[in-house]
Structure 1
Amino acid sequence: MNIGSERRAVQNPFIRYAEEAGWTYLPPEEALRLRGGKDSPVLRKVLIEQLQRLNPGVVDSVTIAEEVASRVVRVRPNIEGNLEVWEYLKGLKTVFVEAERREHNVRLLDADHPEANTFHVTDEFRFFSGRTAIRADVVLLINGIPVIVVETKAATRPEGIAEAFDQIRRYHEQGPELMAEAQLFALTHLVKFFYGPTWNLSRKALFNWRDEQTGDFETLVKTFLAPRRVLRVLTDYILFVRKDGELTKAVLRPHQMRAVEKVIARSRDPEKRRGLVWHTQGSGKTYTMITVAKRLLEDPRFENPTVLMIVDRNELQQQLFRNLEAVGFGRVYVAKSKRDLRQLLRNDTRSLIVSMIHKFDDADAGLNTRSNIFVLVDEAHRSTGGDLGNYMMGALPNATFVGFTGTPIDRSAHGKGTFKVFGSDDPSGYLDKYSIRHSLRDGTTIPLHYQMAPNELVVDREAMEKEFWTVAELEGVADVEELNRVLDRAVTLKNMLKNQHRVDMIASFIAEHFQTFVAPMGYKGFLVAVDREACCLYKEALDRYLPVEMSQVVISRGHNNQPRLRRYYLSDSAEKEVRKAFRKPDEQPQILIVTEKLLTGYDAPILYCM
Structure 2
Amino acid sequence: MPAPGEHKTVQNRILQYAAEVGWSFVPRTEAEARRGFSFDSSIIAERAARASIYFNDVLYRKVKEFNPKYPEGEGALVGRLRRLQANIFGNREALDFLRNTGTFFCADENRELDLILIDYENIDRNVFEVTEEFYFHNGTFGNREDVVFLVNGIPVLMAECKNAIKDEAIAIGVDQIRRYHGETPELFVPQMVFTATEAIGFSYGATWNMVRRNIFNWKHEETGRLESKVKTFCDRRRVLGLLRHFIIFAEKDEDLNKYILRQHQTAAVERIICRCLDRGRTRGLVWHTQGSGKTFTMIKATEMLFKAPESEKPTILLMIDRNELEDQMLKNLAALGLGNVEHADSIRKLVGLLRADYRGIIVTTIQKFREMPERVNGRSNIYVLIDEAHRTTGGDLGNFLMAGLPEATYIGFTGTPIDKTAYGRGTFKTFGVDDPEGYLHKYSIRESIEDGTTLPLFYNLAPNEMLASPELMEKEFWSLVETEGVADIEELNKILDRAVNLKNFLKGDERVDWIARYVAEHYLQKVEPLGYKAFLVAVDRPACAKYKAALDKYLPPEYSEVVFTGNHNDSMELKNHHIDAQAEKQIRKDFARFGKLPKILIVTEKLLTGYDAPILYAMYLDKPMRDHTLLQAIARVNRPYENEAEEMVKPHGFVLDFVGIFDKLEKALAFDSDEVNAIVKDLKLLKVLFRSNMDEKAPRYLGLIREGFNDKDIDGLIEYFRDKERRKEFFREYKEIEMLYEIISPDAFLRPFLENYTTLSAIYDVVRKAYTRQVYVDRAFQKKTNELVQQHVGTGPIQAVADLVEINGDTIDLIKKKLGGDGTKVINLIKSIEKTAEENSDDPFLIAMAERARAVQESYEDRQTSTRDALKSLFSEIEMNEKRKKQQAEKGFDGLTFFVYRTLLDAGVSGAEEASGKIRAAFLDHPNWQKSEGELRELRKKVTFAIIPGEDDIDRVVQIVETLFSLLTKAYAIR
TM over 0.5: yes
The AA in structure 2 aligned to 1:359 is K
Please state if 1:479 is matched with 2:487.
yes
The count of aligned residue pairs is: 605
Please state if 1:581 is matched with 2:590.
yes
2:457 is paired with a residue of what secondary structure? coil
1:135 is paired with a residue of what secondary structure? strand
Q: How does 1:400-415 map to 2 (within 5 A)?
A: 400-410=409-419
1:410 is paired with a residue of what secondary structure? coil
The AA in structure 2 aligned to 1:565 is L
Which residue of 49, 53, 61 corresponds with 1:49?
61
Q: How does 1:35-46 map to 2 (within 5 A)?
A: 35-37=35-37, 38-39=48-49, 40-46=52-58
1:449 is paired with a residue of what secondary structure? strand
Spell out, residue by residue over 1:5-43, the C-alpha distance to the aligned partner (whole angstroms, 9 max, x if none): 222112221221112222121222222222224343333
Which residue of 367, 370, 379 corresponds with 2:379?
370
Instruction: Note if contact 2:201-2:223 (Cα within 8 Å) is conserved in structure 1.
Output: no
**Deviation of the 1:546 alpha carbon:** 3.9
Please state if 1:568 is matched with 2:583.
no
Q: How does 1:384-463 map to 2 (within 5 A)?
A: 384=393, 387-410=396-419, 416-453=425-462, 457-463=466-472
CA distance in 1, matches of 2:511, 2:54: 63
Instruction: Note if contact 1:55-1:107 (Cα within 8 Å) is conserved in structure 2.
Output: yes
**Deviation of the 1:452 alpha carbon:** 4.9
Q: How does 1:147-546 map to 2 (within 5 A)?
A: 147-210=156-219, 216-315=225-324, 317=326, 320-321=329-330, 324=333, 329-384=338-393, 387-410=396-419, 416-453=425-462, 457-471=466-480, 475-481=483-489, 482-546=491-555
CA distance in 2, matches of 1:110, 1:554: 51
How high is the TM-score relative to the length of structure 1?
0.89
1:450 is paired with a residue of what secondary structure? strand
Distance 1:514 1:2, change over 3 A: farther
Spell out, residue by residue over 1:449-485, the C-alpha distance to the aligned partner (whole angstroms, 9 max, x if none): 33554555444444333332333x6753353434444
**Deviation of the 1:238 alpha carbon:** 1.2
The AA in structure 1 aligned to 2:71 is D
Instruction: Note if contact 2:4-2:165 (Cα within 8 Å) is conserved in structure 1.
Output: no
CA distance in 1, matches of 2:396, 2:609: 28
**Deviation of the 1:508 alpha carbon:** 3.8
Q: Which has the larger radius of gyration?
A: 2
Choose between structure 1 and 2 for higher RCO, CA contacts under 8 A separated by at least 6 residues: 1
Percent identical pairs in the alignment equals 50
CA distance in 1, matches of 2:119, 2:564: 47
Alpha-carbon RMSD across the aligned residues, in angstroms, is 3.1
The AA in structure 2 aligned to 1:62 is G
Distance 1:103 1:175, change over 3 A: same
**Deviation of the 1:390 alpha carbon:** 3.8
Distance 1:151 1:488, change over 3 A: farther
1:143 aligns with: 152
Instruction: Note if contact 1:211-1:223 (Cα within 8 Å) is conserved in structure 2.
Output: no
CA distance in 2, matches of 1:509, 1:96: 69
Q: How does 1:30-179 map to 2 (within 5 A)?
A: 30-37=30-37, 38-39=48-49, 40-57=52-69, 59-62=70-73, 66-179=75-188
**Deviation of the 1:408 alpha carbon:** 2.6
CA distance in 1, matches of 2:153, 2:169: 29
The AA in structure 1 aligned to 2:35 is R
1:147 is paired with a residue of what secondary structure? strand
Distance 1:301 1:177, change over 3 A: same
**Deviation of the 1:318 alpha carbon:** 5.8
2:29 aligns with: 29
2:610 aligns with: 601
Instruction: Note if contact 2:194-2:205 (Cα within 8 Å) is conserved in structure 1.
Output: yes
Distance 1:454 1:134, change over 3 A: farther
Distance 1:478 1:341, change over 3 A: closer
1:401 is paired with a residue of what secondary structure? strand
The AA in structure 2 aligned to 1:60 is P
Distance 1:35 1:606, change over 3 A: farther
The AA in structure 2 aligned to 1:404 is F
Instruction: Note if contact 2:22-2:236 (Cα within 8 Å) is conserved in structure 1.
Output: yes
1:10 aligns with: 10
**Deviation of the 1:90 alpha carbon:** 2.3
Q: Please identify, of 281-290 and 501-510, the stretch whose mean Cα deviation from structure 2 is larger.
A: 501-510
Please state if 1:19 is matched with 2:19.
yes
Where do 5+ consecutive residues of structure 1 fail to align? none
Instruction: Note if contact 1:199-1:249 (Cα within 8 Å) is conserved in structure 2.
Output: yes
CA distance in 1, matches of 2:141, 2:440: 50
1:136 is paired with a residue of what secondary structure? strand
**Deviation of the 1:321 alpha carbon:** 4.5
Instruction: Note if contact 2:476-2:499 (Cα within 8 Å) is conserved in structure 1.
Output: yes
The structure that is strand-richer by fraction is: 1
Spell out, residue by residue over 1:39-83, the C-alpha distance to the aligned partner (whole angstroms, 9 max, x if none): 4333333333333333332x33326xx333222222222222222
How high is the TM-score relative to the length of structure 2?
0.58
Instruction: Note if contact 2:127-2:153 (Cα within 8 Å) is conserved in structure 1.
Output: yes
Distance 1:505 1:121, change over 3 A: farther
CA distance in 2, matches of 1:108, 1:538: 60
The AA in structure 1 aligned to 2:91 is N
**Deviation of the 1:324 alpha carbon:** 4.3
Spell out, residue by residue over 1:312-346, the C-alpha distance to the aligned partner (whole angstroms, 9 max, x if none): 55456566456546766544323233332221111
CA distance in 2, matches of 1:497, 1:238: 47
Q: Please identify, of 106-115 and 260-269, the stretch whose mean Cα deviation from structure 2 is larger.
A: 106-115
1:310 is paired with a residue of what secondary structure? strand
**Deviation of the 1:347 alpha carbon:** 0.7
CA distance in 1, matches of 2:120, 2:595: 42
CA distance in 2, matches of 1:91, 1:557: 48
Distance 1:263 1:361, change over 3 A: same
Distance 1:85 1:425, change over 3 A: same
CA distance in 1, matches of 2:398, 2:334: 27
Instruction: Note if contact 2:321-2:365 (Cα within 8 Å) is conserved in structure 1.
Output: yes
2:291 is paired with a residue of what secondary structure? coil
The structure that is helix-richer by fraction is: 2
**Deviation of the 1:264 alpha carbon:** 0.7
Distance 1:114 1:511, change over 3 A: farther
CA distance in 2, matches of 1:533, 1:260: 43
